[in-house]
Structure 1
Amino acid sequence: MTRLHPLSAVTMALQQAITGFTIPFFLVIFLASVFDGVTTTWGFVLVPLGVLLGIGYGFAYYYRFEYEITSDTFDVQSGVFSRRSREIPYGRIQNVDVARGVLQRLLGLAVVSIETAGGGNTEATLRFVSEDEATRLQQQIRRRTAEAKNRQRTRRESASDTEAEPEPETVDDSRDRDESGRTTETQPAPTDEPERTADRDSRSDVAGVSRPQRLFDLESRELLLYAFTSFRPAAVAAVLFIFFLATDTILEYFLTVAQPVGGPTDLENGTTGSYGVLTVVSFVNGLVITYLLSVAYTFATYYGFRLGRVDDDFVYERGLIQRYSGSIPAEKVQSVTVTDNPAQRLISYAGLWVETAGYGPDSGSGSQSAVPLAASRRVYRFTENLTGVERPTFESPPPIARRRYLVRYSLLAAVVVAFAFGVTHVTGLERWYLAALVFVAVPPAAHLRYVNLGYFVGTDHLVIRRGFWRRRTTVIPYYRIQTVSTRRSIFQRRLGLASLVVDTASSRTFFWATPTIYDVDLGDARDANETSRHRLQSALRDRARSDEIGFSVDFT
C-alpha cells in the first residue's frame, strides 16, 4: 500500500487546525451570550485545544490513508475512527481526473479523483500526490481499464461462439508417449509470468505509455471569441456574493456613477426621478460587471484547452489558475450536441459537447466540452465524423405551433405590463404604459422560437434541434436511447400537438434538459416514437453482434 505525499499531512493538519479553531471560537461566543456562567475566557482554553485536536486528526488521517493498484481493482483504505476499505474494479472506472491549483503547481502536487459510471459522485479522491505519481496513476489505471474492457469483450465473443458451435472434445496433452510406447507425464514448463507481467508493466509505465494523439487545440483567437461570446451563470452568483460582502462600498460606487447623469447625492435625499436614474445605472453596471466576470471565468477555465485520444478514450487538458486533465471514454458517450448562441452564429462559430453516462468532469453532470469553439463548418464536420450521422434534413413543427408561442409570449408581456402598473402605485413612478412596448418583441420572439425547432429521424440516429439563445442540435444514436415518451399538455391537446421526450443514460441538469421534440402533430409524434422504438431494437441487435464502440475517436 502507498501513502499520499508527505505534504498532504501538512495541508490536512492545517485544514483541520482551522476547523478546530473556528468551532470552539464561535461556540464560546454563542454560549457566553446565552448563559451567564459561560465567559469568553473559556476560549483561551477551548480554542488551543481544538487546534491541537485538529492537527492531530490531520496527521492521523494521513497515516491511515493508503491506496494500491492491483491486477483487478484500485484499492483505497481510509478513515481515522471508522475504517473504510474500497475496491474499485477497473471495468467501472470512467475517468481519472487530475487537478492542480496555482499553489499545488508551485509545490509539485496534484489531486487525483477517480469517477465511476452510474453516478455523479467521486468514488475516491487522493489529496495530495506528486505530479509524477498523478501521471503514473492516470496512465496505469487508464491502461488497466482498457485491458478490463478488452477481456469483457473477449468473454462475450467466446460466449457467443460457444452458443453457435458445440465445443470440441479436449485432449489431455499433459502426458506424451516415449519411443517405447510408454506414457510419460509431461510437467508444465516453469513460468515467470508474474515477473514478466510486472516487468512489462514497468516498461509500459516508463517507456511504453501511449502518448495522446492530438485532435484539437483551442487557439488564442478562438479562446478570446469563446470568452466574449458566451456567458457563465456562475458569474451571477459571484456578483451576488461580492455585493453581500461589500454592500456599502458598492452602493457608494453606484451613487458616484449615477450622480453625473441625474442620480441622488445619497440614499436618504432624492427625488423619484433621481432614484429611477440610480436604478437604471445600477442595473447597467451590474450587467457589465457580471459580463466581465463571465469573460474572465471562461478565459481562465478553457485556457490551454487540448483534446486528444489514447486508445478508445478522449483525453483533455485545460485551465489557467486550476489546471485539469482527464479522459472521456468513447464507449460512455451517449449523445453529441452542437451549441451556439446568437453572437456565435453571427460570426459562424459553434461548440461541440458530448454527453456521458453518469459523471461529467466539466460540469459535475454528464456534459463535457470536446470543442469549446470553432468554425461552424468545422464543428459540423467533426460531428459527422464522430457519430457517423448522415447530413440531417430537419422537419419543422406545424405553423399552428407558432400561434401557440405568440399567445404564450403575449401573456408574458401582459404580466410585465401589469407588474409595471402595480409598481407605479407603490413607488409613485409615472408612465407605466411605456412597459407595453414589450408587446413589440412578441412576434419576433415567437417566430425565432419556431424557426429554431426541428428534428430528423435518420437511419441510425435521431437528431433534435431546439433553442434560440443557446441553440442545441443533439445527435442521439438509437442504441443509446433509454426511453421515448409522448407528452401532451392541456393546450397541446386542444391544438392536436404533442412533444416527444428522448431520454438517454446521461445525467441531466438545470441547464441541460432532456432532448425533446416540441409541438409536432400528434400523428407525427406517434410515428417518430414508433420508428425510434423499432430502430432501437434493430440497433441493439446490431450492437450485440458488433465490437465497435459506436463513436469514432479519430473524429478530426
Structure 2
Amino acid sequence: MSDRPTEPEGTAAEDLAVQDHAVEDPAAAEPETPWRRLHRDGLKSTALYMAGVMVGAGTPAAIALASGTSWPIALAWVLPGAALVIGAVVAFEAVRLRTTRYRVTATRVEMHTGLFFKRRRSLARERIRSVDLAANPLERVFGLTKVKVGTGETGSGSGSTTEQTLTLDSVHRTEADRLRQELLRRGAVASEVDTEGRLATWEPGWLKYAPLSFLTPMLAGIAVGAVFQVADWFGRGGLPVEITADLVEAHGPWTVLGVGLAALLLLGAIASLVLQGEAWWNHRLDREPGGTLRVRRGLMIARSLSLEEERIRGIEIVEPLGVRTAGAGRLDVVAIGLKTDQEGSDLSTLVPAAPLDKTLAAAEAVIGPLETGLAPHPRTALHRRLRWAGATILIAAGLATGAHLLWSMPALLSAAVVLAAVSTSAFAVWTAFDSYASLGHASGPRYLVSRRGSTRRATVHLDRSGIIGWRIQQSVFQRRMGLMTLDATTAAGKGHYAVIDADEHEILDFADDTVPDLLRPFLIREPVGDSAE
C-alpha cells in the first residue's frame, strides 16, 4: 500500500465558485491583495492570428468567385467580409482584456471578467494540483503564455458537468512562470527532501518511431482528400481521377498502384515526422522540489505541464503495433483530473515513443520498481479470440465474393478486393494469437498490473490505494468458457482499468487480495469441511 498521504477524491462543487453577482462579504474579498490585468499585447497576437485565418479561409472563396466573375469583383466581396470579422474579434478581445482581472491570495485564486454580465471564478489554493502553460508561435513572439490552473476535480452546475479550472489567456511569460511556482509552492514547503532531477530527455533519434504509428496512413488519406478539395476549388473535381486513369493506361495498373501507395506512405511518414517533431522537440521530464513533475516540450507551440505527484495513481506503458515492432513504447500517467478518454490525446503523456528501456527507466523513476512477473490467462481466452478471427474471415470472404457477383470490376479493382480480404483474414488470425500472448495481470506490493491489447498493447500499473471499486462483467460466451472481466474503478485517468478474459474463480480471489475487504462481503466460499466431504 502507498505510504504517502491521501486526500478525498470526490467531487467538491464548493471548491469552484462561479457567480454572476458581486462578492457580498468584504472580508472574503481580501482587498489588500492587488488585482492584476492580462497583458495588452494579447490584442496584437489576436489581430495577427485572425488575419492569418481570414487569408486561409478567404483565398479558396476568392478563387471560387473569380472563376465565375473576375478577381476585382471577387476581392470586393471577400475583403470587406474578412475585415469585418477581424474587427469584431479584435473588439471582443479588447473588451475581454480590459475587463479581466485576477489575483492570488493566501487561500484562493480569483478571476473577474465580463462587461455586461460579470463572471467571477475562484479556486481554493489547497485544491490546486496542476498548472499548464502553453504558447503558440504568435504568443511566443510577444512573450505571452496561456495559464490553465486545475484542481483535478469536476463539479456540476446548471445540470451539466463543469471542469474545475481557471484559465488566464495572455499572461506575460515571466508572470506565468511566477504563478506556476507560487501556486505549487504549497507542496514544496511541505516537503523536507529535495528530489529535484531530470527523469527523461528527448532525443532527435526518437523521431524514427513517428512513421510507425497509425497516424501515417491517416495523414496519407487526408492528403488524398486535400487534392480533391483543391481541384474542386478550381472547378475540376474530377481531374485527379482523369490523371490516374491516364497513368494506368500508360504504365499499367499494378505499377500505378504500387507507386501510388509508396508515394502516399512516404508523404504520410514525412507529415508524421513534422507533427511529432513539432509536438515533442526539446521534451524534458523533471521532478521539481516538493514532489512535482513537470513536462516541457514543443518547437512552435511551447507547452509546459506541472503535475503534483499526490495526484498520480499509476502509469501506463503504451506500445502501438508499429512502435512495438521497433522495440519502443510511450509512457502515460494515470492521474486525477487529466482527461484520457480519447486515445491519441497527448495530455497525459510523460514520455513520447522512445526505446523501451528508456521508457521503463522513466516509469520506475516516477512510481518506483515495476512488477514484471505477470500471470497468464486460460487457453480458453485464446479460443475466444480465434472464434472472432473465424467470424472476420467469413465476413471478409463473403464481402469479396458478393462484390464480384454483383458488379463487373476491372482487373485492378478485383485484385485489390481479393488482396484486402486475404490481408484482413491473415491479420485477424495473427491478432488473435498476439492479443492472447499479451494478456497478463499481477498484484505487487503497491500496484495492480494489467496488460492487454495487440494493435495497441497497454500495461497499466494502478496504485492499489487508488482503487475505489470493482466492476465485474461476464457475457454469455465468457460464462460458457469460464472467463470473466474485472474492472478496477478509480478517480484517475480513464476511470476504470480492466483485466479481461481471466479465470472466473481466480480473478475474484485476485481482486480480494489486491484491495482487502472491498469485495469480500460479496464472495461466497465453501467451507473447508464441506469440500473434504
Aligned equivalent of 1:451? 437
Query: Which of residues 260, 268, 271 in structure 2 aligns to 1:290?
Result: 268
Indicate conservation of the 8 Å contact 1:13/1:58, yes or no.
no
Q: Report the alpha carbon displacement of residue 118 of structure 1 after superposing the two structures with TM.
A: 1.5
Secondary structure (helix, strand or coil) at the match of 1:292 reads: helix
Instruction: Give me the whole-angstrom Cα distance separating, in 1, the residues matched to 2:320 and 2:134.
Output: 30
Corresponding position of 2:499: 517
- Cα distance in structure 2, aligned partners of 1:467 and 1:43: 51
* 1:338 aligns to 2:317 (yes or no): yes
Instruction: Give the alignment of 1:71-220 within 5 angstroms.
Output: 71-119=106-154, 121=163, 123-144=165-186, 146=188, 150=190, 213-220=197-204
The answer to whether residue 357 in structure 2 is matched with residue 377 in structure 1 is yes
Q: Contact between 2:392 and 2:425, CA under 8 Å: does it hold in 1?
A: no
* Contact in 2 for aligned 1:218/1:305 (Cα 8 Å): yes
Query: For the Cα contact (< 8 Å) 2:219–2:271, is it kept in 1?
Result: yes
Look up the match of 1:308.
286
C-alpha deviations, 1:207-251, integer Å up to 9, x for none?
xxx996322211222x32332333448847854763564254896
C-alpha distance in structure 1 between counterparts of 2:127 and 2:263, whole Å:
48
Post-superposition CA distance 1:455-500 (Å, at most 9, x none)? 1122322111111222211111210112222211121112121111
CA distance, structure 2, for counterparts of residue 82 and residue 217 of structure 1: 46
Partners of 2:512 and 2:518 within 8 A in 1: no
Q: 1:416 aligns with which of 390, 393, 396?
A: 396
Residue 374 to residue 280, structure 1, CA distance change in 2 (3 Å): closer
The alpha carbon displacement at 1:345 in A equals 3.8
Measured against aligned partners, the alpha-carbon deviations of 1:262-308 in whole angstroms (never above 9, x if no partner) come to 2589xxxxxxx95x987776666544433332222112111110111
CA distance in structure 1 between the partners assigned to 2:219 and 2:137 by the alignment: 21
1:398-409 to 2 correspondences below 5 Å: 398-409=378-389
SS in 2 for 1:359: coil
Residue type at the aligned position of 2:269: Y
In 2 relative to 1, CA 277–140 (structure 1 residues): closer, same or farther, beyond 3 Å? same
**Residue pair 1:116, 1:359 contacting (<8 A) in 2 also:** no
Q: Return the alpha-carbon distance in structure 2 between the equivalents of residues 224 and 404 of structure 1.
A: 37
Quote the offset at 1:382 in angstroms.
3.7
How many angstroms apart in 1 are the aligned matches of 2:129 and 2:241?
49
Identity fraction in percent: 24
Aligned CA distance change for structure 1 residues 263 and 133 (closer, same or farther; 3 Å): farther
Q: Across the two proteins, how many residue pairs are aligned to each other?
A: 449
The answer for the alignment partner of 1:242 in structure 2 is 226
Instruction: Give CA-to-partner distance per residue, 1:286-344, whole Å, 9 cap, x none.
Output: 44433332222112111110111212110111011111112121111122112224444
Tell me: CA distance 1:116–1:462, structure 2 relative to 1, closer, same or farther (3 Å): same
How many angstroms does 1:82 deviate by? 0.7
| Aligned counterpart, 2:516 | 534
TM-score by length of 2: 0.72
Task: Kindly report the root-mean-square deviation, in angstroms, between the aligned alpha carbons of the 2 structures.
Answer: 4.1
Match for residue 337 of structure 2? 358
2:122 partner letter? E
Contact kept, 8 Å, 2:315 with 2:332, in 1: the verdict is yes
Whole-Å separation in 1 of the counterparts to 2:120 and 2:249: 64
Aligned 8 A contact 1:339 1:473 in 2: yes
Superposition pairs of residues 264-275 of structure 1, within 5 angstroms: none
Deviations 1:424-469 (A, max 9, x none): 2444125776635644444433211111111112232211111122
Aligned with residue 209 of structure 2, among 226, 230, 240: 226
- Give the one of 5, 9, 17 matched to 2:43: 9
Q: TM-score, normalised by structure 1?
A: 0.69
Residues 232 and 18 (structure 1 numbering): CA distance in 2 closer, same or farther, change over 3 Å? closer
Secondary structure, aligned partner of 2:133 = strand
SS of residue in 1 equivalent to 2:505: helix
For 1:523, give the aligned amino acid.
Answer: H
Q: Kindly tell me: are residues 415 and 215 of structure 1, through their superposed partners in 2, closer, same or farther at Cα, counting changes over 3 Å?
A: same
Deviations 1:128-152 (A, max 9, x none): 12221222222222214655xx4xx
Residue type of the alignment partner of 2:335: T
CA deviations on 1:386-424 (whole Å, 9 max, x unpaired) are 323454311111112111111101111211122222322
- The gaps in structure 2 that reach 5 residues or longer are 1-34, 62-75, 155-161, 521-533
Distance in 1 between residues matched to 2:402 and 2:347, nearest whole Å: 42
| AA aligned opposite 1:139 | Q
